[in-house]
């Protein structure tokens, strides 16, 4: 509608004489006056709420502030006193350092997601030849180089897993989400079994293990036995636990991340002071993230999963996490689901001894043994 001082042909005052007095103009509201309440009780309530919100505050600045003045204001707010400025500088430096680590991890995560997508397409046979080549190349690159997932000191040594990487790249899952509804722990002696049933002590295991000092359970009897046999240890009673969802595990189970858990190469061991694996670093990162333990693929049984349950950070002998995850109570301390007879133990011992002797043979002797076995089988076939 045109303003009153310029009447149009359709305006009621269009036929009024030009000498007619102009209506009094409404005075402009003060710049920072409270807004007029809209009609109705709801509008009045909103207006009162706005007045209450801005009561006692400086009125919001209108227009665009000077850029330099605005930057100085923000700098003062962020930095404060001289000691605050130094802390601010240190925090900024640390942030830049974090960015330098996080960016390659984010890139790797995108590549890992791409591998998962292509893997799904491969399973349902909808993958193209070009995508198949991409899948093979990307998977090979990620599997063979996990350096980006570790933080390094100034001398190049691995010093840990960044908290961002632990939370956002590996992530956490419950035992159930990892597919471990029953945890199996194979004991190596009657004494060992008695100690465990009396009370789990996560610090009793070998601190040089793949996942560090922890109480280990496997997802199946086969996985548990394969792990025990590899270490040439005798088998005794098998304890099983029904897992709960009362604890989270650092998830190291993705196939392309397998090398994080596997033994280091000779060059890596030399660089990192002779450490055979990253168990101590994995354990520290998991405990810092306040998770109950770490989950990793079995190196001895393809498709198997191992859970390492740690003590609490403030108490190396605390069984709290193990009790929560495994449902251990004063009345239930694990179920003996398999007891090995003396004959079973003797058979297992013979197999372990033979396997150990074969593994300890020099490569040339192994080759001669294989050729001898092949020749023997060939001669048997020719005499029939």
Judged by average pLDDT, the poorest of 60-64, 200-204, 254-258, 271-275 is: 60-64
pLDDT at 145: 94
pLDDT at 285: 96
Q: What is the CATH number of domain 165-340?
A: 3.90.175
Structure tokens at 186: 């194979």
pLDDT of residue 59 exceeding 50, the answer is no
Beta bridge partners of 294: 250, 308
Nearest to 293 by CA among 332, 233, 244, 334: 244
pLDDT per residue as tens digits for the range 272-285: 888 899 999 999 99
Whole-number Å distance between alpha carbons of 244 and 291: 14
Judged by average pLDDT, the poorest of 83-87, 239-243, 254-258 is: 83-87
Give the mean model confidence (pLDDT) for residues 8-30: 46
168: number of Cβ within 10 Å: 13
pLDDT at 224: 94
pLDDT of residue 98 exceeding 90, the answer is no
Nearest to 250 by CA among 213, 291, 214: 291
pLDDT of residue 233 exceeding 80, the answer is yes
Whole-number Å distance between alpha carbons of 195 and 211: 21
Sign of CA dihedral 194, 197, 200, 205: positive
Whole-number Å distance between alpha carbons of 179 and 173: 10
pLDDT per residue as tens digits for the range 296-322: 999 999 999 999 999 988 888 889 999
pLDDT at 81: 47
pLDDT per residue as tens digits for the range 326-374: 999 988 888 888 877 777 777 777 776 776 666 666 666 666 666 766 6
pLDDT at 202: 86
pLDDT at 16: 42
The percent of residues above 70 in pLDDT, for the chain, comes to: 67
Main-chain dihedrals φ then ψ at residue 263, nearest 5 degrees: -65, 145
pLDDT at 96: 58
pLDDT per residue as tens digits for the range 140-185: 999 999 999 999 998 989 999 999 999 999 999 999 999 999 999 9
Structure tokens at 330: 């004063």
pLDDT at 105: 96
Each domain of the chain, given as residue ranges in start order, spans 87-145, 165-340, 348-376
Q: 142 with 111: CB under 8 angstroms?
A: yes
Q: Would you place residue 51 in the very low, low, confident or very high pLDDT band (cuts 50, 70, 90)?
A: very low
Residue 125 DSSP one-character state: T
CA dihedral 177, 178, 182, 187 (to 10 degrees): -150
Tell me the angle at which helices 82-123 and 67-79 cross, rounded to the nearest 10 degrees.
Answer: 90
pLDDT at 77: 47
pLDDT per residue as tens digits for the range 102-148: 999 999 999 999 999 999 999 999 999 999 999 999 999 999 999 99
Tell me the angle at which helices 82-123 and 129-144 cross, rounded to the nearest 10 degrees.
Answer: 140
């Amino acid at each position: 509608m045109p303003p009153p001082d310029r009447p149009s042909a359709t305006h009621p005052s269009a036929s009024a004489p030009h000498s007619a007095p102009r209506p009094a103009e409404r005075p402009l509201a003060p710049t920072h006056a409270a807004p007029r309440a809209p009609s109705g009780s709801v509008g009045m309530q909103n207006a009162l709420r706005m007045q209450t919100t801005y009561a006692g505050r400086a009125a919001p600045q209108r227009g665009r502030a000077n850029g330099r003045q605005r930057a100085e204001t923000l700098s003062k707010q962020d930095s404060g006193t001289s000691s605050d400025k130094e802390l601010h500088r240190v925090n900024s430096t640390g942030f830049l350092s974090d960015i330098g680590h996080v960016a390659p991890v984010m890139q790797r995560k995108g590549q890992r997601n791409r591998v998962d997508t292509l893997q799904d397409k491969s399973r349902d046979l909808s993958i193209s030849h070009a995508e198949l080549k991409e899948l093979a190349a990307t998977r090979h690159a990620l599997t063979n180089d996990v350096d980006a997932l570790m933080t390094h000191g100034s001398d190049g040594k691995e010093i840990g897993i960044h908290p961002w990487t632990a939370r956002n790249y590996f992530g956490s899952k419950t035992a159930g989400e990892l597919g471990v509804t029953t945890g199996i722990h194979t004991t190596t002696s009657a004494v060992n079994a008695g100690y465990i049933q009396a009370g789990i002590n996560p610090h009793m295991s070998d601190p040089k293990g793949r996942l560090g000092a922890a109480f280990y359970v496997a997802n199946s009897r086969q996985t548990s036995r394969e792990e025990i046999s590899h270490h040439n240890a005798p088998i005794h009673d098998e304890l099983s636990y029904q897992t709960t969802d009362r604890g989270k595990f650092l998830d190291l189970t993705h196939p392309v991340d397998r090398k994080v858990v596997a033994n280091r190469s000779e060059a890596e061991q030399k660089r990192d002071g002779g450490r055979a694996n990253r168990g101590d670093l994995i354990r520290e990162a998991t405990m810092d993230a306040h998770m109950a333990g770490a989950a990793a693929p079995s190196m001895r049984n393809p498709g198997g999963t191992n859970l390492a349950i740690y003590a609490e950070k403030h108490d190396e002998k605390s069984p709290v996490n193990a009790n929560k995850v495994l449902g251990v109570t004063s009345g239930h301390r694990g179920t003996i689901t398999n007891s090995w007879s003396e004959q079973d133990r003797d058979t297992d011992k013979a197999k372990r001894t033979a396997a150990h002797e074969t593994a300890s043979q020099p490569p040339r002797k192994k080759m001669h043994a294989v050729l001898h076995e092949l020749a023997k089988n060939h001669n048997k076939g020719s005499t029939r």
